[in-house]
């Protein structure tokens, strides 16, 4: 006679050590019994656990890794109400944008600033509020697709603005923009300049800089994408690093004559997912009054995290307080000492020179010298099964852990994982 399967409840209780709530353990037990293999219940439960949002150790060398949440952010707050939309000075209803807007505007030299939930939303809102049913001039070389299927022509279509392509893929001159503006059939509301944040075009190329576009008498909107506030990097003790050369920054783009600048909050800024519109106060006001502004606004948790991020920039303590800049600026010597300590602790591995990346479409084609530890063989699966999971990479059948993207407090966990593997 065939053996009766265990009850769903008893099987679920037998795998409680996986650490999931009982209803999810029941789901795993039911699936295993339905498959005719109750012994698989634990593996199914662990698979469910791995699909949930959990902290991981980023050993890939990509600082703002899109698949790992981009820039790492530490944020805590008390479970109290906050003056999100309450003016403490008047006791009346206030704006959730006023406080954070002042901080962002001050940090990048803008008249005003508006926060939405990501940079794609920032571009969409600007186009919808300022150019609906009107023309927007874009260089053919900047009518791009970047991460997540963000395609300039499609965003333009959804906003209700009309795309006017000018120039060629590799060369667009000031005269190309001027002709489009002067053409009687066009009703140009904006010039949109888009930074190709995740690729580079090199060779026989030419683009028109913002300071020239600003002479044409049409508002210029520059989407710089990466979120670098100031090319001078006053928050870094040694000034701007070489790998930032050529990366557009909000302060300098505004100073060059851009009327509005849009960028991300979770790339080089090192904050939570968000998008910024900074620049002329009248244009910001128009954007803030558009119906989309409410749909795209961030919540209190994001704004509180952004508040802390911007205060670090204004206090010039970002290098030590914002994880992105702490990782980006750590010295090779410090990384080497950490690598030696890990290898000494676990008794395995070799130190190698490697290259880290800023990540998330920032500074495309640019790398940062780093130090890693390599182990013979492919151990990616075993590392992912650690608690917390360790995400590494494999090259030439060797597993590589880049220490630049690992917080020093996690070095002991890396060493312990190596011991279990080997």
Q: What is the mean pLDDT of residues 101-130?
A: 96
Confidence class for position 1, pLDDT limits 50, 70, 90: very low
Residue 340 pLDDT greater than 80, yes or no? yes
Q: Which domain holds residue 115?
A: 98-321
Residue 118 pLDDT greater than 70, yes or no? yes
Alpha carbon separation from 137 to 185, 279, 294 (Å, rounded) = 13, 19, 27
CA-to-CA distance for 65 and 60, rounded, in angstroms?
Answer: 8
Same domain, 277 and 350: no
Same domain, 317 and 338: no
Into how many domains does the chain fold?
Answer: 3
Tens-digit pLDDT profile for residues 274-308: 999 999 999 999 999 999 999 999 999 999 999 99
Predicted local confidence at residue 363, as pLDDT: 75
In a domain, 179, yes or no: yes
Domain end residue (candidates: 302, 321, 340): 321
Same domain, 248 and 107: yes
Residue 2 pLDDT greater than 70, yes or no? no
Tell me how many helices (H) and strands (E) the chain has.
17, 15
Domain end residue (candidates: 299, 321, 343): 321
Tens-digit pLDDT profile for residues 45-87: 999 998 999 999 999 999 999 999 999 998 888 999 999 999 9
* Helix-, strand-, coil-residue percentages of the chain, each rounded to 5: 40, 20, 40
Same domain, 132 and 275: yes
Ramachandran bin of 356, using left for φ above 0, alpha for ψ from -120 to 50, beta for the remaining angles: beta
268: Cβ contacts below 8 Å, ≥ 6 apart: 64, 226, 227, 228, 247, 324, 358, 362, 363
In a domain, 12, yes or no: no
Q: Residue 315: which CATH number?
A: 3.40.640.10
Same domain, 165 and 211: yes
Residue 146 pLDDT greater than 80, yes or no? no
Q: What is the mean pLDDT of residues 356-375?
A: 89
In a domain, 87, yes or no: no
In a domain, 136, yes or no: yes
Same domain, 31 and 62: no
Residue 28 pLDDT greater than 90, yes or no? yes
Q: Give the range among 135-149, 248-262, 287-301 with minimum mean pLDDT.
A: 135-149
Domain end residue (candidates: 321, 344, 369): 321
Same domain, 330 and 317: no
Ramachandran bin of 91, using left for φ above 0, alpha for ψ from -120 to 50, beta for the remaining angles: left
CA-to-CA distance for 84 and 160, rounded, in angstroms?
Answer: 31
Q: Give the range among 72-76, 227-231, 341-345 with minimum mean pLDDT.
A: 72-76
In a domain, 149, yes or no: yes
* Contact indicator for 232, 240 with CB cutoff of 8 Å: yes
Same domain, 182 and 169: yes
416: Cβ contacts below 8 Å, ≥ 6 apart: 346
Predicted local confidence at residue 149, as pLDDT: 66
- Cα 27 to chain centroid distance, Å, stands at 34
In a domain, 3, yes or no: no
> Which pTM does this prediction carry?
0.92
Q: What is the mean pLDDT of residues 197-212?
A: 80
Rg of the chain in Å (alpha carbons): 25
Same domain, 337 and 403: yes
Residue 6 pLDDT greater than 80, yes or no? yes
Same domain, 285 and 337: no
Task: Count CB neighbours of 180 within 10 A.
Answer: 21
Instruction: Report the mean per-residue pLDDT for the chain.
Output: 93
Predicted local confidence at residue 186, as pLDDT: 86
Same domain, 241 and 334: no
In a domain, 126, yes or no: yes
In a domain, 13, yes or no: no
Same domain, 379 and 254: no
Predicted local confidence at residue 360, as pLDDT: 79
């Amino acid at each position: 006679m065939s053996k009766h399967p265990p009850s769903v409840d008893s099987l679920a209780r037998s795998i409680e050590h996986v650490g999931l709530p009982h209803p999810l353990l029941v789901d795993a037990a039911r699936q295993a019994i339905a498959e005719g293999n109750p012994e698989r219940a634990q593996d199914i439960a662990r698979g469910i656990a791995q699909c949930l949002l959990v902290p991981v150790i980023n050993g890939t060398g990509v600082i703002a890794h899109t698949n790992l949440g981009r820039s790492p952010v530490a944020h805590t707050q008390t479970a109290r109400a906050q003056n999100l939309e309450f003016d403490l000075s008047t006791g009346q209803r206030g704006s959730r944008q006023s406080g954070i807007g002042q901080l962002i505007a001050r940090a990048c030299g803008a008249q005003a600033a508006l926060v939405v939930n990501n940079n794609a939303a920032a571009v969409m809102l600007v186009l919808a509020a300022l150019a609906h049913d009107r023309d927007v001039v874009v260089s053919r070389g900047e009518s791009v697709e970047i991460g997540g299927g963000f395609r300039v022509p499609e965003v333009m279509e959804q906003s209700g603005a009309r795309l006017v392509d000018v120039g060629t893929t590799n060369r667009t001159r000031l005269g190309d923009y001027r002709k489009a503006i002067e053409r009687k059939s066009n009703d140009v509301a904006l010039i949109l300049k888009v930074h190709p944040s995740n690729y580079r075009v090199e060779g026989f190329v030419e683009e028109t800089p913002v300071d020239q576009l600003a002479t044409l008498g049409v508002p210029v909107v520059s989407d710089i994408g990466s979120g670098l506030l100031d090319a001078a990097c006053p928050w870094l003790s040694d000034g701007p690093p070489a790998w930032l050369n050529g990366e557009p920054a909000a302060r300098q783009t505004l100073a060059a004559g851009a009327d509005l600048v849009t960028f991300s909050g979770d790339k080089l800024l090192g904050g939570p997912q968000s998008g910024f519109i900074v620049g002329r106060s009248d244009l910001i006001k128009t954007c803030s009054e558009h119906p989309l502004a409410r749909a795209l606004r961030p919540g209190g948790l994001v704004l509180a995290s952004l508040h802390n991020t911007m205060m670090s920039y204004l206090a010039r303590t970002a290098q030590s307080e914002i994880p992105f800049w702490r990782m980006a600026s750590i010295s090779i010597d410090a990384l080497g000492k950490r690598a030696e300590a890990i290898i000494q602790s676990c008794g395995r591995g070799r130190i190698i020179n490697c290259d880290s990346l800023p990540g998330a479409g920032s500074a495309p084609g640019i790398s940062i010298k780093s130090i890693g530890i390599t182990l013979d063989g492919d151990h990616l699966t075993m590392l992912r099964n650690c608690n917390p999971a360790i995400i590494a990479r494999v090259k030439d059948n060797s597993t590589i852990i880049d220490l630049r993207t690992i917080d020093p407090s996690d070095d002991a966990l890396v060493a312990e994982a190596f011991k279990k593997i080997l």
